Structure 1
């Protein structure tokens, strides 16, 4: 066979393979680009939404009023900002049809509030003409509740504040766990280290179980709109959960959008923490041992043990205010 014949055979056999490989590379690059675009848009939207969770109307709802973690989470504003940011970053802020289509691929949004959580997800209901409608609506606030074998109930918060039902006395009490541990017969309240472990695990498990049920139920609603993807709760690491329950925040999911041969399946978590420079210093007087707090511009030699964002928070933790020396 002549060299020219070999060239012809090579061209016939291998050139189509090179072309196909080139198409696959370009397709993979497109898939990676689209995945990154959706993931980045989701994470940005969650951070934007979470950042307004601490936008309050009244002073008593602002951070520092009793606890550095207590907010009245503005969930409606947070979700509105979330969607606005998401649509803008995907380039569909003016495309109502695209927005409605995207909504089918957002099975749930959760707002982690100080003493409970909300889930924003599809629900089925009847319209004015008795037609069946499906749209995202808010769940009622759901508390972080734990019960033991003796019938005691504990409602946790994102910090040490707690509400307890003592089955033996049939009474509800509330306060800080560290202050109640010697005055209640509820075993969990008496053990600070165990309390913290159970508090965190209860909050995570409660939200996680509810999200799993809501996302699973979303399959029914999505199927009615032609979406055949099997929606399930993604695996969220323990570290991510722990970070998400340190303060009020937002959790959102995008799943099932077909990209190449695969599907987008991602989530994002964002915190609404308002970071404030501590300006209250608390500790013990080295002479008397009395627990005081003083403001940052008034230091008198306390052995500083803790810092707080407000005088109210320091007082709630058992400290007395020490006035500046003349």
Structure 2
């Protein structure tokens, strides 16, 4: 059965991409043989950077053609000979915004669109402008302008993303979860602290995959295992973050994997080196200020001290702020909670 339009268009900041956007896009899909998504924000909005928006659109609508446009992207297209105007600032008149879309369609898509789908008052004027540029009718299809279907806006979400997380797909909300990273040598109470913190914060934690892999391999790791461990740890964080509440407690980071890779093999893959640069919102280093406990898998107290010194040197060299945790488990929990509250 043929659909109403050959090619439709949805334009938005998608900052962030919320379920209202998704509902509009799904409604448009039902009416179009082909649907195109176009996004830009100038100025950009914190937490909704172009790379994130592009990833959200790809994750949620992999079957659609989507573009997240920046001034740099426009410059690259011009260098290839495409006729595109400057990417308009949001303070510029509506005509400049609409003209950019018209030029984008002709230069990048290579053809006009038949319909534009919005939940906004500007939709009719937008379609009329495109009709004049294309020399053919472009229809405006209004989708739930009153927003009764999904009663939220990007502005409201940006103001209180965690309380309103029910209006975001889990994959999108996961990018707003703050990662709490715990570092520390062997027998510094890191894993016990991760579990206790997750409970105190009413959230989840990402357990250390490296230990699981070590046990799977009978305590004998090969060089290739370390990059696998780093990638799996990051993937585990991503999955857990989608189910979290504001924070995700990370029992380890790829920086730990890098340490063991260099320690065991004297080298590391460039990809693992890059993973070790992964950003965490809150970094805590567990001090080695209580007796070493040998569980049959650890080395010794001298190794633990050297490992903690390496962490401190690396964090300092990279210019990453961190908090050193000392004392009992309860004291460390209290130190973390004070740090998170800014007190």
Q: TM-score range, shorter-chain basis?
A: under 0.3
Larger Rg: 1
The structure that is strand-richer by fraction is 1
The structure that is helix-richer by fraction is 2
Instruction: Give the TM-score of the pair, scaled to structure 1.
Output: 0.25
Instruction: Give the TM-score of the pair, scaled to structure 2.
Output: 0.24
